[in-house]
Structure 1
Amino acid sequence: MDGNNYIKGCCGKHSSISATITMKAVNVCLLLVAIAQAHAADWAQVQPVYRDRPTFRVASHSKIIGGNIATPGQFPYQVGLFIDGSGFCGGSLISDTVILTAAHCVDGIRIFEAHLGAHDIYDMNEPNRVIVISTDGVAHENFNPATIDNDIAIVRLGFPVGGFGISPVRLPAFSLVNETFSGDRVRVSGWGRTSDATSGVSPELKYVDVSVIDNSQCQAYYGNIINESKICVDTNGGTEGTCHGDSGGPLVIQESDGEYTEIGIVSFGSVDGCESGFPAAFTRVTEYLEWLEINAGVALRP
């Protein structure tokens, strides 16, 4: 039986389906339904406190909202996480056995289906894709959903993963703990929605380059919910940035040696929408280096 015919059947367009359908086809169908249903459950939203927006430096136009399509294998650390079969988050591979993501993607969740080496999240036949099922998610013990503090978590895979297009991203050195990154150009990637009007995640992995703003500028929007454990970026009037489905994904900076280092985890945006022009907020990874050493078992640079 043609896989496309089966997908149509499971979505209610055809009722007679052969009993010889393979379990793989069933899983593909259920996964595609989960993708179609993935929505705001993954995306923490905050009511802006102030609506008089400061003036930000206008960044060059590159858009995950309407964004740039990644080249297959461009982000070997990128992970797609299907959570309890009904939600979707991003993540990053930080060792061959551990995924880094947001606590609000892990808190209360039982089953994680991690897709590594993926480009088109709908295409289960991609040759380099590795899929791992895990029930070992660990949110930060002090995660606070009300203030979105300590929005960091890991998912342990149970065995090493690797292969073409699959490798960990570098974590910050301890020497970067006091670095604010304000004004730096950074990059975020994910399968999140490409606009407020869309209802599902993007089929293809996308990315956007954005600029870090001072926390004081971000507080001008969100108030004191912005603290030292968070990092914000300018969304260039709502034309660049993250959206539903990007939560937990990596914000990286290219260091002087040419390597990319993850400095943020997609955390929250404004209830006014992804295209509202409000900043996007991330968990500041440099605040959690000791936590990562202990819980993820990773060795970090001095």
Structure 2
Amino acid sequence: MFTQGLCIVCVLFLFGVNSMSLKGPRITRYDPCGLGMIHFDKLKDKVWQGVLNLGILNTNGLNGIEIQIDFEKRIALFEATQNTTLSVKNNDRDYNIKIPSNVPKVYVFYIAVIETGVDVPIVKRFSINNRTLCDDTIKDSQNVNKFNVTKLNDTKYRHVCGRRSLDHTELTSVRTIARAGDWPWHAAIVVKERITNIDRYQCGGNIISTTAVLTAGHCVSKNGINVDAWRITILVGISNLTDLKQSGRQVHNAVQVILHPAFSDVQATADLAIIKVTSFRFTEYVQPVCIWGPVYDKSSLFGKEAIVVGFGTTEDNKLSDTLRSAYTIVQNDFTCIAYSPKLYTSLLNEFTFCAGYGPSSNVNPRNGDSGGGLVVATVQSDFSVSWFLRGIVSKCGVSPGHTQCDPKFYLVYTDVAPHYGWIYHNAGLQYSSNVL
């Protein structure tokens, strides 16, 4: 236990690569075709929990609902949460689920893969009320070429944000080493030291356009001294900082640093900066994330699950150069203030929010993860998921006598939504629909 009110604010402006504390087993999720309608969470070898998010459908006027799930291999289905009519065909591969009335918002069931040598319950076809949302044809179309939506005679390059190619969309694991392309918008910011001329990892960042990375302001400015653009290098398309041979790796020199005009060393309110480069090349490994805004009522975030990503230490606190990711939960301001009034009362306002699992947690970003993003999965009108950047890692709590961020404290994020206009203007973005 740590005494409330005795913590200090850690500005996170360190040159060491000290990152997430990720303890416990990996969490693996399978999202057929990257849909927000259905996903499977791995419970143990061959056993998965299936979740149908039926609440995103407009079920008014529907006389029940019919769901068809065809698996690639044999599946045993058991322990469904609602009364349904279930039929099975094709040697335990094709399942038809009928809910005659009172369609629930969430339908939970459990399955086991019963074929030798197979672990993931690959879905061949998924449909609701005879509308096919996932099949081999749809999967074949989910590639980076489809994300390019530039039209003939367009004067600016247009690209869909927040989407990943199929190989990195369907099967994702956290609390483990990420693959290059799993979080293709994450960038590593490297700064050249003035005296030694040595390049050192500084912070995380987020690709938001072909020429811009959004990061924390304190990553490029401290005590009124700004980092010159010529000292900054941006690494993208990687999952390892030191592996120079990763196929998706791109290295870009910064050409401009734009610090938010309201930036303050001690506050998280406008802890933002944009680093400009000449041009990223969007590939399977390098993609832009969407920006949440301009609406920014943060109360709708409370209780939502999100993902944070960063480079740094492993669960045994040994330095590592590998990219890792973790789930986190956005908290109500009052929850964080109640835990440590002295720390959070001064940091939380309409431009910031806090997230984390609280005192019992050992999963949280730490020093060195500054500038990285908190991203939220958002279901679009085509039922596919797009990832939206909502927060930038800004401030953390430190227990007395220590200098490292303590994962038992909630993390404070700069909310990007109130700064939507500033971000779009300086990143050279233009708004358009994100539905393919």
Pair in the same fold by TM > 0.5: yes
Which has the larger strand fraction?
2
Q: Quote the residue 1:295 is aligned against.
A: 426
Deviations 1:50-99 (A, max 9, x none): xxxxxxxxxx9769xx9322232111101011123344100010011100
Q: Quote the residue 2:235 is aligned against.
A: 115
| CA shift in 2, pair 1:139/1:172, >3 Å | same
The reply to whether residue 92 of structure 1 matches residue 169 of structure 2 is no
Please, which moves more after superposition, 233-242 or 248-257?
233-242
Q: Quote the residue 1:234 is aligned against.
A: 356
- Cα contact 2:391–2:414 (8 A) shared by 1: yes
Q: What secondary structure, in the 3-state scheme, does the structure 2 residue paired with 1:95 have?
A: coil
The reply to whether residue 277 of structure 1 matches residue 408 of structure 2 is yes
Alignment of 1:214-225 (within 5 A): 214-220=332-338, 221=340, 222=343, 223-225=345-347
Deviations 1:138-183 (A, max 9, x none): 1111111022331011100023432331110011142x42243000
Structure 2 length-normalised TM? 0.52
- Residue of structure 2 aligned with 1:255, choices 378, 383, 400: 378
How many angstroms apart in 2 are the aligned matches of 1:147 and 1:293? 22
1:241, distance to aligned residue in structure 2 (A): 1.0
Q: Quote the residue 1:212 is aligned against.
A: 330
> Once superposed, what is the RMSD of the aligned Cα atoms?
2.4
Which residue type is aligned with residue 90 of structure 1? G
How many angstroms apart in 2 are the aligned matches of 1:203 and 1:128? 16
| CA shift in 2, pair 1:102/1:42, >3 Å | farther
- Residue of structure 2 aligned with 1:144, choices 249, 254, 264: 264
How many angstroms apart in 2 are the aligned matches of 1:209 and 1:226? 21
Q: What secondary structure, in the 3-state scheme, does the structure 2 residue paired with 1:145 have?
A: coil
The reply to whether residue 41 of structure 1 matches residue 161 of structure 2 is no
Count of residues in Structure 1 that have an aligned counterpart in Structure 2: 243
- Cα contact 1:61–1:240 (8 A) shared by 2: no
- Cα contact 1:187–1:207 (8 A) shared by 2: yes
Please, which moves more after superposition, 86-95 or 204-213?
86-95
| CA shift in 2, pair 1:196/1:248, >3 Å | farther
| CA shift in 2, pair 1:90/1:265, >3 Å | same
How many angstroms apart in 2 are the aligned matches of 1:148 and 1:225? 6
How many angstroms apart in 1 are the aligned matches of 2:178 and 2:245? 18
1:189, distance to aligned residue in structure 2 (A): 0.4
Q: What secondary structure, in the 3-state scheme, does the structure 1 residue paired with 2:379 have?
A: coil
- Cα contact 1:69–1:206 (8 A) shared by 2: yes
Q: Quote the residue 2:99 is aligned against.
A: none
| CA shift in 2, pair 1:82/1:277, >3 Å | same
How many angstroms apart in 1 are the aligned matches of 2:242 and 2:398? 28
Q: What secondary structure, in the 3-state scheme, does the structure 1 residue paired with 2:337 have?
A: helix
- Residue of structure 2 aligned with 1:266, choices 385, 393, 401: 393
1:256, distance to aligned residue in structure 2 (A): 1.7
1:135, distance to aligned residue in structure 2 (A): 4.1
How many angstroms apart in 2 are the aligned matches of 1:161 and 1:139? 24
Q: What secondary structure, in the 3-state scheme, does the structure 2 residue paired with 1:68 have?
A: coil
| CA shift in 2, pair 1:122/1:146, >3 Å | same
Q: Quote the residue 1:76 is aligned against.
A: 184
Q: Greater CA radius of gyration, 1 or 2?
A: 2
Please, which moves more after superposition, 153-162 or 89-98?
153-162
How many angstroms apart in 2 are the aligned matches of 1:261 and 1:72? 19
- Residue of structure 2 aligned with 1:246, choices 359, 362, 369: 369
- Cα contact 1:62–1:209 (8 A) shared by 2: no
How many angstroms apart in 1 are the aligned matches of 2:291 and 2:189? 20
Which residue type is aligned with residue 14 of structure 2? A
Q: What secondary structure, in the 3-state scheme, does the structure 2 residue paired with 1:288 have?
A: helix
How many angstroms apart in 2 are the aligned matches of 1:197 and 1:130? 28
How many angstroms apart in 2 are the aligned matches of 1:254 and 1:166? 18
Q: Could you tell me which runs of 5 or more consecutive residues in structure 1 were left unpaired when the two chains were aligned.
A: 1-38, 44-59
| CA shift in 2, pair 1:164/1:90, >3 Å | same
Q: Quote the residue 1:105 is aligned against.
A: 219
Which residue type is aligned with residue 356 of structure 2? D
Q: What secondary structure, in the 3-state scheme, does the structure 1 residue paired with 2:206 have?
A: strand
| CA shift in 2, pair 1:195/1:143, >3 Å | farther
- Cα contact 2:180–2:248 (8 A) shared by 1: no
Which residue type is aligned with residue 186 of structure 2? Q
Q: Quote the residue 1:172 is aligned against.
A: 292
Which residue type is aligned with residue 211 of structure 2? T
How many angstroms apart in 2 are the aligned matches of 1:295 and 1:142? 15
